[in-house]
Structure 1
Amino acid sequence: YNQKIGAGTFVFGYPSGSHPDGNHAFSGKTLKWSYGKTFKASSPTIKAQELIGIKSSFTGEGALGSAWLYRYSSTKRLGYLNGVTIGVADRDGNQRYDTSVSPYFDGETYGVYKVAAKNWSGKIV
């Protein structure tokens, strides 16, 4: 949390659905990743105090909830959670999604995760 805007970040998710132009680029059945630097973002349709964006072609269906990992190591398969995709956008107007957005993870977000960690729900499988 509290990472500088402009940090290199990986986004991992299972995008599916189509771009606004109808193209189905992803099936939603395979884990995909994108990489880029975060930037300040805003949206008139999302009620949020601070948003960050990252260049990503992930389509909305299936990509919502994608993990944003800062300082990800492919050898260790570990990184710091720095965001979660809550929306996608076509910023250049070419009818293809090119941006994912997340709330900025700050000290308040860390506090929520710290409390949640004490309430472990158990194994999934």
Structure 2
Amino acid sequence: MYNGVEFRTWKDVGRLGDNVGGQGFSWNQKIGQSVYAFGYPAGPHPDGDRPYTGLTPKYCYGKTSAAGAVAGFKAEAQIALKCSMTAGASGGPWIAQYSSTMRVGYINGVTSLVGDTDSNGRFDFATSPYFDSETYSIYSAASNLASGKIGK
């Protein structure tokens, strides 16, 4: 017992995704595909406005477009999406073929950078690395690794 909380012996029940489900994974998709980008934005826009708290999930929806390289972040092959989310949304999934009733689809990116294209002090786009065959090979290698069993 710790601080009034009783600890139990953990039981290994297998892989997380096999027990609770998960999203699919897609790569080498054409630019111009519709995606939902999810995140928990919390940071201010460049003009100081703070429309998000970081406590509530938000999303953007639209078609991807090609994005230029950003040398300062070593971001080369990217896709972009019109989106007003701020800092804090980074790492949130971009999901293609998303079903809002089933809440499943295919991860096709993750929010990496946000920017302001019209210089009005408000973020209006987000970028993601382009998921290509190299991304898939890394995903595939990692998905076949076991994290080990829980317990004694």
Q: TM-score, normalised by structure 2?
A: 0.76
Identity of aligned residues (%): 50
Cα 1:79/1:91, change in 2 over 3 Å: same
- Is 1:58 aligned to 2:85, yes or no? yes
- The aligned residue for residue 108 of structure 2 is 82
How big is the shift at 1:80?
0.5
How big is the shift at 1:121?
3.6
RMSD between aligned residues: 1.2
Counterparts of 2:79 and 2:66 in 1: how far apart (Å)? 5
Amino acid corresponding to residue 17 of structure 1 in structure 2: G
Which of residues 29, 41, 50 is equivalent to 2:67? 41
Q: Could you list the structure 1 runs, at least 4 aligned residues long, displaced by more than 6 angstroms after superposition.
A: none
**Structure whose residues are more often strand by fraction:** 1
Which of residues 22, 25, 29 is equivalent to 2:55? 29
Number of residues paired by the alignment?
A: 121
Task: Give the unaligned 5+ runs of structure 1.
Answer: none
- Is 1:119 aligned to 2:145, yes or no? yes
Counterparts of 1:121 and 1:78 in 2: how far apart (Å)? 24
Amino acid corresponding to residue 88 of structure 1 in structure 2: V
How big is the shift at 1:39?
0.4
Q: TM-score, normalised by structure 1?
A: 0.92
Question: Rg bigger for which structure?
Answer: 2
